[in-house]
């Protein structure tokens, strides 16, 4: 950590920095555990002057204001620096923790809006996530998620042009055969994989690194299953709160997961373009 970053953290926290240690998981910037002279322990993310850490801070504050899910307290947020509470963790996402996650996310998904999108654009990782208010969920998912992220992945060379052409054709001809207008929009965390779920003693201590918007809640459930973050204990408990509509596990889950697969294609390439292509061939 640079001396300038240490000084900025000390000024934001109101106490001298005595020790820092790097942590893993920084998509937007570098992540540090910070010990202060007054005994507090914080987490700091640092980025350049053109960083977007202020948007991450906004999203955490927005979720905190809902009182639906636990998130770290934000102490300071600006483009190049985010300072927040350090959350102690212990244990794994066992059945009890998964059931608690289902309780929390069902409550979050009960927070609604008049349209799909959000009051401002947000991020997924470090990528811009456009959120213009849109009455039609299929239109929003097509234009602001699938085609938008597909274009980004094609333009950076990660997604083959023929796969993007297949995506366009699918969105035009097939998407609305699977994706319908939900009853109401739901506020979602938006990046629900295990690395963003902090557990302590069989309970969810915090959700981190959000990518919030108002969407079909099923898109969150799909993402939560993509990397086996949650299993049967989560889905059974969630269904008790908010019944999952027939057809989700048969097809809609795969189609909703095109968005995180396209996002991972942009970030990592690797096997993800082939996975995108496989879904499009299966349902197109």
Q: End-to-end CA distance of the chain, in Å?
A: 49
Q: Given this model, what pLDDT does residue 26 score?
A: 59
**Residue 194: per-residue pLDDT:** 93
In b/e form, how buried is each residue of 170-204, taking b as 16+ CB within 10 angstroms? bbeeebeebbeebebbbbbbbbbbeebbbbeebbb
What would the two tokens of residue 130 be?
A: 């456009």
- The per-residue pLDDT for 156 is 97
pLDDT in tens, 225-248: 999 999 999 999 999 999 999 999
* Structural tokens at position 165: 């052409």
Tokens of 284: 């197109």
What's the pTM value of the predicted model, to 2 decimals?
0.95
Question: What domains lie within the chain, and their CATH numbers?
Answer: 3-85 (3.30.200.20), 95-283 (3.90.1200.10)
Residues contacting residue 183 through CB under 8 Å, at least 6 positions apart: none
Distance CA 37, CA 135 (A): 51
Tokens for 204? 């969810």
Q: Does pLDDT of 73 surpass 80?
A: yes
Which stretch of 21-30, 44-53, 87-96, 112-121 has the lowest confidence by average pLDDT?
Answer: 21-30
């Amino acid at each position: 950590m640079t001396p300038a970053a240490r000084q900025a953290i000390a000024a934001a926290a109101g106490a001298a920095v005595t020790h820092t240690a790097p942590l893993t998981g920084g998509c937007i910037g570098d992540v540090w555990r910070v010990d202060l002279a007054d005994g507090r322990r914080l987490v700091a993310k640092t980025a350049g002057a053109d960083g977007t850490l202020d948007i991450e801070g906004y999203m955490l504050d927005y979720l905190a204001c809902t009182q639906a899910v636990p998130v770290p307290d934000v102490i300071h947020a600006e483009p190049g620096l985010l300072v927040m509470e350090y959350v102690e963790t212990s244990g794994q996402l066992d059945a009890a923790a998964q059931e608690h996650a289902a309780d929390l996310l069902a409550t979050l998904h009960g927070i609604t809006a008049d349209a799909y999108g959000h009051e401002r654009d947000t991020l997924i990782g470090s990528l811009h996530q456009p959120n213009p208010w849109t009455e039609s969920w299929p239109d929003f998912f097509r234009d602001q998620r699938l085609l938008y992220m597909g274009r980004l992945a094609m333009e950076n060379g990660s997604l083959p042009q023929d796969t993007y052409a297949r995506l366009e054709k699918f969105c035009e001809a097939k998407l609305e055969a699977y994706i319908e207008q939900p009853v109401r929009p739901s506020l979602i965390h938006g990046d629900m994989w295990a690395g963003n779920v902090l557990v302590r003693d069989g309970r969810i201590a915090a959700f981190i690194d959000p990518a919030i918007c108002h969407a079909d809640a099923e898109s969150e459930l799909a993402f939560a299953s993509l990397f086996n973050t949650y299993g049967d204990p989560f889905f059974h408990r969630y269904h008790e709160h908010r019944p999952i509509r027939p057809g989700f596990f048969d097809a809609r889950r795969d189609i909703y997961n095109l968005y995180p697969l396209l996002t991972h294609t942009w970030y990592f390439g690797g096997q993800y373009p082939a996975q995108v292509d496989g879904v499009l061939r299966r349902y197109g």
